[in-house]
Amino acid sequence: MNAAGWTPLEVTPEIAGTKPDAGGLRDYLSDSQKIDAMLIEQKALVFRGFGITPGQFEGVLDMMLHDRLAYVHGNSPRSKVGKNVYTSTEYPPEFTISMHNELSYAAKWPARLLFFCEVAAPAGGATPLTDGIAWLRSLDAEVQDAFSGGVRYVQNLPDGRGLGRSWQDTFETGDRAEVEAYLASAGATWEWMGGDLRVTQLRPATTRHPVTDDEVWFNQSDQWHVCALDDETGAALLDILPEEEIPQSVRFANGDPIPAEYVLQVRERGLEMAVDVNWRAGDLLLIDNVLVAHGRRPFTGDRRVLVAMSD
């Protein structure tokens, strides 16, 4: 159990009262209102022991996600492997991915995420989860107050080549007009610099759940801040580029720099409070993307976890 006393609910065939196969899981999922209510109450659900294979994943996917979303404006390196189904991340396995809510830096974010473990790593590779309400409350009052005015994100997206993800991959299109229409609808500002694109967004640091009205920590300042990189990488980037030209950066909404100690407190407390979902092949993990943040532990060997999203 984590420091906040919360853990995701594990659903097995014995608990569900169904057969230990894909048909049994589909029977259990057929009462969509029950699943919706369970997810809000429990915040995350682990479905284990149903023996789901890659070929059966699509059959349960649509029952858990009512409207699959494309990963538009996503900043994580990943590959599209099906109809709005992606690898969970392709970030190097030796690194921890700190706690975050998917697309919390954007104007729109998915309400739900569904993860499927196709191949479990032989060592490590857990998906840690953190209760967003408890995470917010764990932060010092000084930090909460400092972030109350929101944050400013800056992305520099190259035209196919350069540091970071290209704007074509980020927005899943090569059409500039389509990108501009998306950014305008999101309330972002942008600038074309030759073929490259700079995007600036002002966002709140917290949000409220649309059903429960609970306030949660909901931003990615700790992942976008240069101090979140290892010391060598961060120093090397700033040696060759000013802050406003590195692939992504963050400040307070008024333009003031965010102290590194604030960012490190956010990151460390989120990870300290996390409870790990240790994967077994065939597992499914459904999370409420507002109430729960997720990350990734380092691993060795092969690991393949897929993810899909819905509103």
pLDDT tens per residue across span 162-213: 777 899 989 989 999 999 999 999 999 999 999 999 999 999 999 999 999 9
Q: How many CA atoms lie within 13 A of 74 on its CB side?
A: 25
Q: What is the pLDDT of residue 230?
A: 59
* C-alpha to C-alpha distance for 270 and 98, rounded to whole angstroms: 8
Q: Distance between CA 42 and CA 263 in Å, rounded? A: 28
Mean pLDDT of all residues in 109-117: 96
pLDDT number for residue 2: 47
Q: Give the count of beta carbons closer than 10 Å to the beta carbon of residue 166.
A: 17
* Mean predicted confidence (pLDDT) in 34-56: 96
Q: Any alpha helices (H) in 30-107, and if so which ranges? A: 32-42, 54-64
Q: Does domain 135-268 have CATH number 3.40.50.720?
A: no
Question: What share of residues in the chain are helix, strand, coil (percent, to 5)?
Answer: 30, 30, 40
Q: What is the pLDDT of residue 81?
A: 83
pLDDT over threshold 80, residue 240: no
| pLDDT for the residue 4 | 52
How far is 219 from 205, CA to CA, in rounded Å? 5
Residues of the chain with CATH 3.60.130.10: 9-130+276-310, 135-268
If phi > 0 it is left, if psi is from -120 to 50 it is alpha, else beta; for residue 111 that is: alpha
For residue 18, pLDDT over 50 is answered with yes
Average pLDDT of 288-307?
96
Just give the CATH number of 9-130+276-310: 3.60.130.10
What is the reported pLDDT for 198?
A: 96
Per-residue pLDDT averaged across 226-240, rounded?
64
Average pLDDT value for residue range 265-269? 96
- Mean pLDDT value of segment 211-222: 97
**pLDDT at position 164:** 79
User: What's the pLDDT at 56?
Assistant: 94
Give residue 88's pLDDT band: very low, low, confident or very high (50, 70, 90). Answer: confident
Least trusted range by pLDDT, from 76-90, 93-107, 164-178, 271-285: 76-90
In the chain, the percentage of residues whose pLDDT exceeds 90 is: 78
Chain mean pLDDT for the chain: 91
pLDDT at 83: 81
Say whether pLDDT at 235 is over 60.
no
Looking at residues 81-101, what average pLDDT do you find?
87
Name the pLDDT band for 245 (thresholds 50, 70, 90). confident
Task: Output the pLDDT for position 3.
Answer: 44
**Res 75: pLDDT:** 67
Higher pLDDT, 89 or 280: 280
Q: What is the mean pLDDT of residues 202-230?
A: 92
Query: Is the Cβ–Cβ distance between 71 and 172 less than 8 Å?
Result: yes
pLDDT of the residue at 234: 52
pLDDT at 156 over 80: yes
Rounded to an integer, what distance in angstroms lies between the CA atom of residue 82 and that of residue 228? 32
pLDDT of the residue at 1:
39
Spatial distance between the Cα atoms of 186 and 179, rounded to a whole number of angstroms: 11
